[in-house]
Structure 1
């Protein structure tokens, strides 16, 4: 697996993306070097991704800290043994509680094996992860990009990426998941760097221009 592990990898990807579309030059000039955004993998890494779905970064951190306190030590076994009251006290929404229990159950049953993901293709990783209830394409994409560091991972269903692409490439409307995936085909094998740039660009737009997703 080709991984993004350091700033030099980001710089290599940025150099490859620049000539593909004039929009990339403007995006890169606005963002500079984007954050590497690597994170811990395995069960805890996946839990953090599930917690972060559809909430702000600050909220995700607060909820994850609460989950780690209430369900200490944070392991699949501890989640499976948790009472309904403990899950409620963790601060997780009902759907996220179900997702965590499903993930913990899949790990216990051997149907979710993180070791199989280390050298698998993006397609195989998607297939393996999304077979677990509660793990959708976005969650699998984010795990692929930030926990595994795959340089060609890309979350076409992410609204921030879609909005950043709309502005950065002068599109008439925010692209759908399918439309953004098609657009991103030209960015292979550096879609992971493209995603980081677009997230950084979206953050710049939101902070300075009030763009809403």
Structure 2
């Protein structure tokens, strides 16, 4: 799957820069961010569940073990695997329950990811969050991966931290206030999210290098 074109992203970044000085700074510093694309498939959501609430490094280790254990991450493999085997990969019991709940919804047809991919965003989001195990953050992240320019993972700490640093503020905005602010970035909230992620990751990489990689 391909993401939005470079022309679309440039136009969106210019639009956002005119709306918000912090985003203008991020665009000036970093440029056009790469879009994080993924197939509208069960494995995409499963990976998002596995990566929640733990460090990226730990999540990658766990996900590599899951892929090694299952071969192909799909509904049949997850539903057919022993829970202890999944626990041995590093998945918590709640995450295993969520993965199985989502797999059951896909198998039964209650969740049709191709239908979600083609639907209007509000309808797509509603179908996703109706499934036990898929919260608003995961739903919006999935929609972003499917190329929705205005999908926005409200409450994402990384986004709020990036915005704080760009504004040179001592404290992050409250989640509700940040979500309200993000409404001013429509119809490109997803582009704003990618821009903020790209900027803070680049800053962290620079700081890491400046510290000698230690």
Bin the TM-score by the shorter chain: 0.7 to 0.9
The 2-side partners of 1:135 and 1:5 are apart by: 25
> Deviation above 3 Å: which 4+ runs of structure 1?
169-173, 204-210
Which region of structure 1 is more displaced relative to structure 2, 127-136 or 5-14? 5-14
Q: Is the 8 A contact 1:44 1:74 kept in 2?
A: yes
- 1:173 paired residue number: 171
CA shift at 1:27, angstroms?
1.3
Q: Size of the alignment, in residue pairs? A: 207
TM-score by length of 2: 0.87
TM-superposed deviation, 1:87: 1.6
Matches for 1:62-141 after TM superposition, within 5 Å: 62-141=61-140
Alignment match, 1:157:
155
Task: Work out whether residues 156 and 162 of structure 1, in 8 Å CA contact, stay in contact via their aligned partners in 2.
Answer: no
Q: State the superposition RMSD in angstroms.
A: 2.0
Q: Secondary structure at the match of 2:54?
A: coil
Once the 2 structures are TM-superposed, how far is the Cα of residue 71 of structure 1 from its aligned partner? 1.9
Q: What stretches of structure 2 of length at least 5 have no aligned partner?
A: 209-214
Report the secondary structure of 2:147's partner residue.
Answer: coil
Contact 2:22 2:163 (8 Å CA) reproduced = no
- Give the superposition deviation at 1:140: 0.6
- For structure 1, the 5+ residue unaligned runs are none
The match for 1:143 is 142
What secondary structure does 2:131 align onto? coil
**What is the TM-score normalised by the length of structure 1?**
0.88
- CA-CA distance at 1:174 after TM superposition: 1.3
